[in-house]
């Protein structure tokens, strides 16, 4: 039996909700089937009993019995992928544990083919409670279970401290000494008739969902295409960690986090007679060479120990708090961008999104990246250089990274002053340019513009230039999202007059109301050729069932 | 051999498969001349005043139902009906037994599919959504050479 990974399967409950299930573990409980709790849901399972006779009927909460194969006792079926295999009858008393992996679609009153699992037990048990877990043993659903112990392979003689009648071990226990773990990659193959009750989308679990395919290639015996792996999994990309190495660890630089009064004290010292220039000149030419920079940063500088500031190894007597780290992280929190309509209008190109990031500016985002996802913004900042990077995490992955400059330099020399002013001038030159993109090339028909045309015809206007340094400090300090949504004109009961987009295959007797057909192969209609053509034309232009 | 023709009024949309029909009068007669069973033109002896609202007819011998496209008075007591087959009503059960890919539907739809029939106004909604927190403080950083 080939084991292949199955996805998009579910367990259909009595209220028609569907729970995605990867595997389940059945707890067997030695009790008479008629004593089953009427409120518990029981599901038939696939078991291959390795040559042992077994029977029973399992009941759902509404007491609809699934009598497998009509057998009452002593019937075992092996390797039958078209139906349920045997269940187990009660034998003796006491509690027995049985591990079963199963998968497939369970629909009340309908059996769906799924492959059996193996067991190595020599006892007979009823199924009483169901525990369904994902492949990481996280509980999805359970009934009749109080306590769960996970991932253990034991023998029945081992004491797990399970004492309550409804306790459950997700693992494998055997009376006979045979046991197997639930392996993470054990997911059963399913038969060819699996139908995904959750959606009517193509089922990627099928070996070839396009089968039977047509012949479009050179090989007349096989169809072409449709052989992708249908792997829709995604790896999360989290925020990176701050760098491990810091300038403050080198000893060549000391970063202080002074208060305003402490800075004043230092300035007073530097310009006072207390500063021994003669001693300093033996080592340096200009004392200001030792002051590498003074800036304002918009973060709480991580505090280290307190120390006396030394300029050129000369103690100034001014005490300041050292910065404990060169790098700081600022978490701006998460914003949930939710659909407004729950329709295609919520997505590109109809809805647009931009994000304003302090010390970065305004940037467009792809609305498809953020819709229905939490959007999390976090900054990593280097307080030494003032460089910052803003991460935008959409869902579970960082999709956008924008670089900015968040420190405002305070000039302490004439050169510093010139550099600061020049920097501001350069930034100002980039601000204020209105960039217009987007098509306004062709005149638009008045009054008959579909939604697709409206947004694409509007110009895109840049809402900010680079907001770095002092400019950023003067700007808005909280990130925000700018969403541009179309304003829909929806007449009452539009679905009655025009229908809404559908694109499903249905028997026409199952639909009611206004219907437009995309494709149909008319069969068993005893009309003339012109009548058939008229029928097809009418169906495609819209009829009312 | 004579056969009946039921003159009727159709109250439903012409593109409705199962129509709401009410009878006006049933006449019986024989065909005196050839006529198409798809687009029959039939002269019926009847009073025009009683059939002036007739827009539908059923001729079971033809196995079809018809829209009345034109009513003409030939002479007193003789009315000519020009008809065209209503294929939807005539073959309703057979049509319904067929499967089809549905493009648009009144009750079963998926709004995530693009729809060019939706209209929007020229003035979009512009919304701003602020993140929970931002930069709330400012502090000095002094970088000094040496340790």
Residue A436's alpha-carbon distances to A440, A461, B25, B116, in angstroms, are 10, 5, 70, 26
Look up residue A302 and give its two tokens: 């991580």
Instruction: Identify which of A176, A92, A103, A158 has the alpha carbon closest to the alpha carbon of residue A126.
Output: A92
B 65-84 residues inside an 8 A Cβ radius of A: none
The verdict on a CB contact (< 8 Å) between A295 and B101 is: no
A 256-285 residues inside an 8 A Cβ radius of B: 256-260, 263, 266
Q: Is the pLDDT of residue A384 over 50?
A: yes
Strand pairing report for A167-172 and A147-153:
parallel
Q: Say if A310 is an interface residue toward chain B (CB within 8 Å).
A: yes
Report the pLDDT averaged over residues A398-404: 95
| Percentage, residues of chain A above pLDDT 70 | 47
The answer to whether residues B105 and A514 touch, using CB atoms and an 8 Å cutoff, is yes
Give the range among A128-137, A155-164, A247-256, A530-539 with minimum mean pLDDT: A155-164
Report the pLDDT averaged over residues B2-23: 94
Q: Say if B104 is an interface residue toward chain A (CB within 8 Å).
A: yes
Q: Say if A493 is an interface residue toward chain B (CB within 8 Å).
A: no
Give the range among A414-428, B3-17, B55-69, B93-107 with minimum mean pLDDT: A414-428
Q: Is the pLDDT of residue B8 over 70?
A: yes
The answer to whether residues A93 and A126 touch, using CB atoms and an 8 Å cutoff, is no
Give A263's pLDDT tier (boundaries 50, 70, 90).
confident
Terminal alpha carbon distance of chain A: 47
pLDDT in tens, A77-136: 222 222 222 233 222 223 333 333 332 222 222 222 232 232 222 222 223 334 444 545
Give A421's pLDDT tier (boundaries 50, 70, 90).
low
How far does the CA of residue B118 sit from the closest CA of chain A (Å)? 6
Report the pLDDT averaged over residues B22-40: 88
Look up residue A48 and give its two tokens: 């291959």
Give the range among A18-27, A314-323, A376-385, B21-30 with minimum mean pLDDT: A18-27
Report the pLDDT averaged over residues A181-195: 27
pLDDT value at residue A482 = 94
DSSP state of A197: S
Nearest CB to B144 within list A254, A478, A481: A254
pLDDT value at residue A425 = 58
Helix, strand, coil percent content, chain A, rounded in steps of 5: 15, 30, 55
Q: Say if B141 is an interface residue toward chain A (CB within 8 Å).
A: yes
The verdict on a CB contact (< 8 Å) between A543 and B122 is: no
Question: Which residue of A341, A529, A539 is the best one to mutate when testing the B interface, meaning the one whose CB has the most B CBs within 10 A?
Answer: A539
Q: Say if B62 is an interface residue toward chain A (CB within 8 Å).
A: no
pLDDT value at residue A159 = 32
pLDDT value at residue A219 = 52
The verdict on a CB contact (< 8 Å) between B128 and A483 is: yes
Give A245's pLDDT tier (boundaries 50, 70, 90).
confident
Q: Is the pLDDT of residue A239 over 60?
A: yes
Question: Is 0.90 surpassed by the pTM of this model?
Answer: no
Look up residue B49 and give its two tokens: 């005043």
pLDDT value at residue B30 = 76
Nearest CA in chain A to B128: A482
Instruction: Identify which of B138, B133, B147, B7 has the alpha carbon closest to the alpha carbon of residue B71.
Output: B7
The verdict on a CB contact (< 8 Å) between B120 and A342 is: no
Rounded to 5 degrees, what are φ and ψ at A453?
-85, -30
Which residues does chain A have within 8 Å of residue B127's beta carbon, measured at their own beta carbons?
A: 482-485
Give the range among A346-350, B33-37, B84-88 with minimum mean pLDDT: B33-37
Nearest CA in chain A to B110: A502
The verdict on a CB contact (< 8 Å) between A291 and B102 is: no
Report the pLDDT averaged over residues B88-116: 91
Q: Is the pLDDT of residue A10 over 50?
A: no
A 175-204 residues inside an 8 A Cβ radius of B: none
What is the distance between the alpha carbons of residues B24 and A26, in angstroms, rounded to a whole number?
Answer: 68
Give A472's pLDDT tier (boundaries 50, 70, 90).
confident
pLDDT in tens, A482-504: 999 988 888 888 889 999 998 88
How far does the CA of residue A220 sit from the closest CA of chain B (Å)? 28
Give A318's pLDDT tier (boundaries 50, 70, 90).
confident
Which residues does chain A have within 8 Å of residue B12's beta carbon, measured at their own beta carbons?
A: 544
Rounded to 5 degrees, what are φ and ψ at B79?
-125, 135
pLDDT value at residue A416 = 60
Report the pLDDT averaged over residues A381-399: 94
pLDDT value at residue A197 = 24
The verdict on a CB contact (< 8 Å) between A526 and B91 is: yes
Q: Is A517 exposed, middle or buried (0-12, 13-18, 19+ CB in 10 A)?
A: buried
Nearest CA in chain A to B15: A543
Phi/psi zone of residue B62: left (φ > 0), alpha (ψ -120 to 50 degrees), beta? alpha
Report the pLDDT averaged over residues A52-68: 30
Question: Which residue of A263, A312, A482, A545 is the best one to mutate when testing the B interface, meaning the one whose CB has the most B CBs within 10 A?
Answer: A545
Cα–chain center distance at A278: 66
Report the pLDDT averaged over residues B110-116: 85
pLDDT value at residue B11 = 96
- For chain B, what is the mean pLDDT? 91
Give the range among A86-95, A225-234, A513-522 with minimum mean pLDDT: A86-95
Give the range among A20-34, A127-141, A430-444 with minimum mean pLDDT: A20-34
Give B14's pLDDT tier (boundaries 50, 70, 90).
very high
pLDDT value at residue A536 = 97
The verdict on a CB contact (< 8 Å) between B15 and A544 is: yes
- For chain A, what is the mean pLDDT? 62
């Amino acid at each position: 039996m080939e084991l292949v990974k199955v996805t998009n399967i579910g367990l259909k409950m009595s209220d028609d909700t569907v729970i995605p299930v990867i595997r389940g573990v059945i707890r067997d409980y030695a009790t008479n089937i008629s004593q089953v709790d009427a409120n518990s849901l029981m599901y038939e399972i696939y078991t291959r009993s390795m040559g042992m006779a077994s029977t029973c009927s399992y009941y759902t909460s509404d007491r609809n019995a699934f009598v497998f194969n009509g057998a009452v006792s002593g019937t075992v079926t092996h390797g039958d992928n078209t139906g349920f295999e045997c269940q187990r009858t009660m034998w003796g008393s006491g509690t027995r544990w049985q591990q079963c992996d199963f998968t497939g679609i369970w629909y009340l009153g309908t059996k769906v083919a799924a492959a059996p699992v193996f067991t190595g037990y020599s006892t007979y048990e009823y199924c009483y409670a169901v525990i369904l877990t994902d492949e990481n043993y996280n509980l999805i659903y359970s009934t009749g279970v109080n306590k769960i112990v996970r991932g253990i392979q034991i023998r029945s003689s081992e004491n797990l401290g399970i004492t309550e009648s409804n306790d459950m071990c997700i693992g494998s226990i055997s009376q006979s000494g045979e046991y197997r773990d639930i392996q993470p990659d054990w997911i059963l193959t399913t038969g060819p008739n699996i139908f995904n009750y959750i959606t009517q989308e193509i089922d990627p679990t099928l070996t070839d969902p396009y089968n039977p395919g047509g012949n479009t290639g050179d090989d007349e015996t096989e169809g072409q295409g449709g052989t992708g792996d249908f792997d829709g999994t995604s790896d999360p990309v989290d925020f990176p960690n701050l760098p491990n190495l810091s300038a403050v660890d080198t000893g060549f630089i000391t970063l202080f986090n002074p208060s305003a009064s402490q800075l004043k004290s230092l300035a007073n010292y530097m310009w006072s007679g207390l500063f021994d220039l003669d001693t300093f000149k033996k080592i340096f030419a200009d004392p200001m060479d030792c002051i590498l920079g003074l800036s304002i940063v918009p973060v709480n500088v991580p505090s280290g120990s307190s120390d006396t500031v030394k300029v050129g190894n000369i103690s100034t007597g001014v005490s300041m708090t050292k910065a404990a780290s060169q790098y700081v992280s600022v978490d701006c929190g998460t914003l949930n961008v939710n659909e407004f309509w729950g329709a295609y209008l919520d997505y590109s190109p109809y809805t647009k999104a931009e994000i304003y990031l302090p010390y970065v500016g305004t940037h467009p985002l792809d609305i498809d990246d953020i819709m229905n996802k939490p959007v999390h913004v976090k900054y990593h900042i280097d307080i030494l250089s003032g460089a910052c990077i803003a991460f935008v995490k959409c869902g579970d992955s960082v999709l956008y990274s924008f670089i900015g400059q968040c420190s405002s330099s305070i000039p302490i020399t004439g050169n510093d002053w010139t550099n600061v002013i020049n920097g501001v001038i350069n930034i100002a030159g980039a601000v204020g340019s209105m960039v217009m993109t987007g098509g306004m090339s062709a005149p638009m028909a008045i009054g008959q513009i579909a939604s697709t045309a409206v947004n694409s015809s509007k110009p895109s206007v840049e809402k900010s230039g680079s907001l770095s340094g002092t400019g950023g400090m003067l700007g808005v300090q909280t990130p925000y999202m700018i969403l541009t949504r179309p304003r829909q004109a929806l007449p009452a009961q539009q679905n009655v007059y025009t229908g809404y987009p559908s694109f499903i295959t249905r028997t026409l007797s199952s639909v009611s109301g206004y219907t437009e057909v995309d494709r149909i192969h008319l069969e068993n209609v005893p009309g003339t050729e012109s009548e058939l053509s008229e029928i097809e034309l009418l169906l495609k232009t819209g009829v009312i069932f | 051999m004579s056969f009946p023709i039921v003159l009727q009024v159709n109250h439903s949309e012409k593109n409705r498969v199962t129509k709401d029909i009410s009878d006006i009068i049933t006449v019986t007669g024989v065909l005196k001349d050839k006529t198409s069973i798809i687009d029959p033109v039939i002269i019926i002896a009847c009073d025009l005043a009683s059939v002036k609202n007739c827009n539908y007819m059923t001729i079971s011998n033809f196995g079809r139902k018809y829209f009345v496209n034109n009513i003409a008075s030939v002479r007193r007591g003789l009315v000519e009906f020009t008809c065209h087959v209503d294929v939807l009503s005539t073959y309703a059960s057979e049509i319904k037994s067929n499967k089809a890919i549905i493009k648009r539907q009144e009750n079963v739809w998926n709004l995530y599919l693009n729809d060019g029939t939706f209209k929007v106004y020229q003035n979009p909604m512009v919304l701003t959504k602020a993140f929970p927190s931002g930069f709330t403080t400012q502090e000095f950083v002094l970088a000094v050479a040496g340790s």
